[in-house]
Amino acid sequence: MRKYLLAAASLFAAITSRGAAGDTTWVQANVDTLSWYGNYDSTVSFPATGTYRNVYMIFTLGKYVCPGSPTYCGDWDYTVTNFLMTPGGDTLELSRLITPYANAGAPRTPWAWKQRYVFDVTDYAAKLQGPATIRLAYSGYSGGFTGDIKFAFVEGTPDRTVTGIRRLWHGGYGYGGATSINTRFQPISVAIPSATAFTDLKVNITGHGSDDSGCCEFFRKGYTVMMNGNPVDYKSIWRDDCGLNELYPQSGTWVYDRANWCPGALVKPAYHHIPGAAGGTSFDLSMYFDPYTSTGGGLGSYSTEAHLISYGSFNKTKDASIEDVIAPTNNADHFRENPICMAPTITVKNRGAAHISTVTIEYGVDGSPTQTYTWGGSLPSLEMTDIVLPDLPELYSLAGTTTTKTFTAKIKAVNGTADKDATNDIMKTEFVPSVKWDSLFRITFRTNSAAVSGVSESSWRIYDQNGAVVRSRTNLQVSKQYLDTISLTPGCYRLVVSDLGCDGLNWWASVGGGYMLLKKYGSEAALPTSGYVSSGTYGHDFGCQFIQSFYVGTPPPPSAVTEVAFGGTSMDIYPNPAADVVAVNLNGMSRVNGTITIFDAMGRVVASQPTTSTQSQVSTANLAVGAYMVIFTSQDGNKLQSKLLIAR
């Protein structure tokens, strides 16, 4: 499945770290105050020529104080659509997003709130040349929002060269009325340009308005792409993850799932591969919507834009790229997943023609030694995968601090050899370390008034760094308070609070009465959290899930990452990463008499054996995946040490 979003905060780090100065051209387009429904146009001058690996459109949505104190100001979910209008007569939708319910009283959307939404518009590079107009179409019947649009042209070779773009359908059409919406999507004859190897139909579609059944905004339907009257692909017009919105809580009905959109999120287009649509072929394309008859009370509609995009063959055989850092990062697009004190997670994409089976990644906190991990799996062309890297000890030692740090991930090899395109192999993110809690603390948990099959829809679990549940409260009664005293050994943990109704423990529009309080033992002092609101109008409002990573106890000293040698001697360990056994070679010693000890990231001894040989093997079969320290201590007290990763 293709992903459309590149994380906003990561984008700027990626651009600045993936090449020398001057490799990226920036173009400023719209800077608008969105005061009322209508079109906001900006004349721009794009580069006249150039070859670009990627072109990004960065839309920054912000707020302003409406004059005259109107009833609503930045409070509603409105559609914002951005179009490219060329002198040659092309009008093409580049992006679509929905504004959030952004009342200034909500904790995440004060008057100074801004959020970046990043759209990959590389396919339109040939159209984004010379003079043009960028249109920001705002559907709001009140003000309060601002829109800022910039383009970043990143020099290089694209994955595939676009051979043609054609707009097939555009418009908002009623659904379920006397005239079928399918009359608007009748067959269109298309001819594929020469030098074409692949063709996709890109569809941006969202449902709006409502009849008595909630169609189309709150009603799941779909459409079928037809080629010469035969079905090619089917797509449900629906998003079922609005309760996991990264921008939460909001001041309206943000948790309700909707017809391919969520308040405060960009709209993800669908890509339908058209089989056999190579250069020189011709055929008819149409779209057929599911049959439906409105139940009365109004008529909803679907707003649709469809482009037929043709591509040449892949320009590179082997090319992997780091597309995103999910954690650790301060990026608002991954607010729920951060901060962390354990395993980093990145997103890697296959941009070449060759299948990818392994990717070797070097990663770490800037200023500290790096770790290396080789991922193994199956990654076809143009697909992405999220890779969970082994634990990073620096994230333990930084827990409880508030200084912003920088994380770097870099691709070192693909399928065992160097990547052919190194310009997209590195990404940096800034992050704040996770919080630190005392080993003894209290959880006061009151379930809300909703139940699923007679059991409360609310629960919580605490996971250790290996993913095992160490404490939990599940299968609870509704509207009942539970008090637990938690005692944990030193280490990194995740508290996961879940609500099956996806409306938190307390939400103004439906359930109420639930709450969670996290306090130090023997005190009323609250434990530090990241993103949990525990009081006021938006207290305990988190949608489907709240996650808090935290470190218990005193983090291990950072010395665990320092390589040590004495008297011209050294220690080699291999393989590294290891699985069930690791070989330890002691170099530069005429006689050996000492002990090999393996410590985990918390400084605990997990394996130890005496040795009198320069070559030893130590079993690691019982060690969990993660980072360790191997130390050889000689009889006279000298030490050699090296990092070890366990990966399976």
What pLDDT does residue 11 have?
53
Q: Is 206 a residue whose pLDDT tops 60?
A: yes
Domain assignment of residue 544, yes or no: yes
Q: Among the three residues 283, 313, 343, which one is the final residue of a domain in this structure? A: 313
120 and 424 Cβ atoms separated by less than 8 Å: no
Q: Is 604 a residue whose pLDDT tops 80?
A: no
Domain assignment of residue 558, yes or no: no
* 70 shares its domain with 211: no
Position 121 confidence tier, pLDDT thresholds 50, 70, 90:
very high
Domain assignment of residue 131, yes or no: yes
* 127 shares its domain with 187: no
Question: Picking from 192-206, 539-553, 592-606, which range would have the lowest pLDDT averaged per residue?
Answer: 592-606
Domain assignment of residue 225, yes or no: yes
Position 646 confidence tier, pLDDT thresholds 50, 70, 90:
confident
* 285 shares its domain with 193: yes
Mean pLDDT across the stretch 633-647? 81
Question: Picking from 3-7, 72-76, 336-340, 452-456, which range would have the lowest pLDDT averaged per residue?
Answer: 3-7
17 and 149 Cβ atoms separated by less than 8 Å: no
Higher pLDDT among residues 559 and 544, named by residue: 544
> For 624-639, b where at least 16 C-beta lie within 10 A, e where not — what string?
bbbbbbbbbebeeeee
* 495 shares its domain with 361: no
Question: How far is Cα 496 from Cα 638, in angstroms, rounded to an integer?
Answer: 44
Q: Is 20 a residue whose pLDDT tops 50?
A: no
Pairing relationship of beta strands 221-227 and 230-237 according to DSSP bridges? antiparallel
Domain assignment of residue 372, yes or no: yes
Q: Is 19 a residue whose pLDDT tops 50?
A: no
The CATH number that applies at residue 638 is: 2.60.40.2550
Q: What percent of the chain has pLDDT over 70?
A: 94
The CATH number that applies at residue 187 is: 2.60.120.230
Question: How far is Cα 28 from Cα 30, in angstroms, rounded to an integer?
Answer: 7
At a CB cut-off of 8 Å and minimum separation 6, what does 559 contact?
A: none
SS (H, E, C) 426-485: EEEEEECCCEEECCEEEEEEECCCCEECCEECEEEEEEECCCCEEEEECCCCCCCEEEEE
73 and 142 Cβ atoms separated by less than 8 Å: yes
CA pseudo-torsion sign 12, 17, 18, 21: positive
* 43 shares its domain with 139: yes
586 and 624 Cβ atoms separated by less than 8 Å: no
The CATH number that applies at residue 368 is: 2.60.40.10
Q: Is 309 a residue whose pLDDT tops 90?
A: yes
* 124 shares its domain with 257: no
Phi, psi at residue 129, to the nearest 5°? Answer: -135, 140
Q: Among the three residues 140, 158, 176, which one is the final residue of a domain in this structure? A: 158
> Which residue segment(s) compose the domain that 482 sits in?
437-552
Domain assignment of residue 243, yes or no: yes
* 150 shares its domain with 4: yes
543 and 255 Cβ atoms separated by less than 8 Å: yes
Q: Give the number of residues written for the chain.
A: 648
Question: Picking from 279-283, 506-510, 513-517, which range would have the lowest pLDDT averaged per residue?
Answer: 506-510
pLDDT in tens, 410-425: 999 999 999 989 999 9
* 339 shares its domain with 325: yes
**What one-character DSSP code corresponds to residue 300?**
-
Chain center to CA of 317: 27
Domain assignment of residue 82, yes or no: yes
* 529 shares its domain with 575: no
* 137 shares its domain with 1: yes
Position 64 confidence tier, pLDDT thresholds 50, 70, 90:
very high
Mean pLDDT across the stretch 565-592? 77
* 459 shares its domain with 508: yes
Position 592 confidence tier, pLDDT thresholds 50, 70, 90:
confident
Mean pLDDT across the stretch 579-595? 84
pLDDT in tens, 311-355: 999 999 999 999 999 999 999 999 999 999 989 999 999 999 999
What pLDDT does residue 289 have?
98
Position 301 confidence tier, pLDDT thresholds 50, 70, 90:
very high
What pLDDT does residue 580 have?
85
> For 582-621, b where at least 16 C-beta lie within 10 A, e where not — what string?
bebebeebeebebebbbbbbbeeebbeeebeeeebebebe
Q: Among the three residues 103, 138, 158, which one is the final residue of a domain in this structure? A: 158
Total number of domains constituting the chain: 5
Residue with tokens 């948790």: 255
Higher pLDDT among residues 643 and 99, named by residue: 99
Q: Is 555 a residue whose pLDDT tops 90?
A: no
Pairing relationship of beta strands 545-552 and 435-437 according to DSSP bridges? parallel
* 299 shares its domain with 193: yes
What pLDDT does residue 602 have?
66
Domain assignment of residue 392, yes or no: yes
By C-alpha distance, which of 405, 380, 432, 114 is closest to 273?
Answer: 380
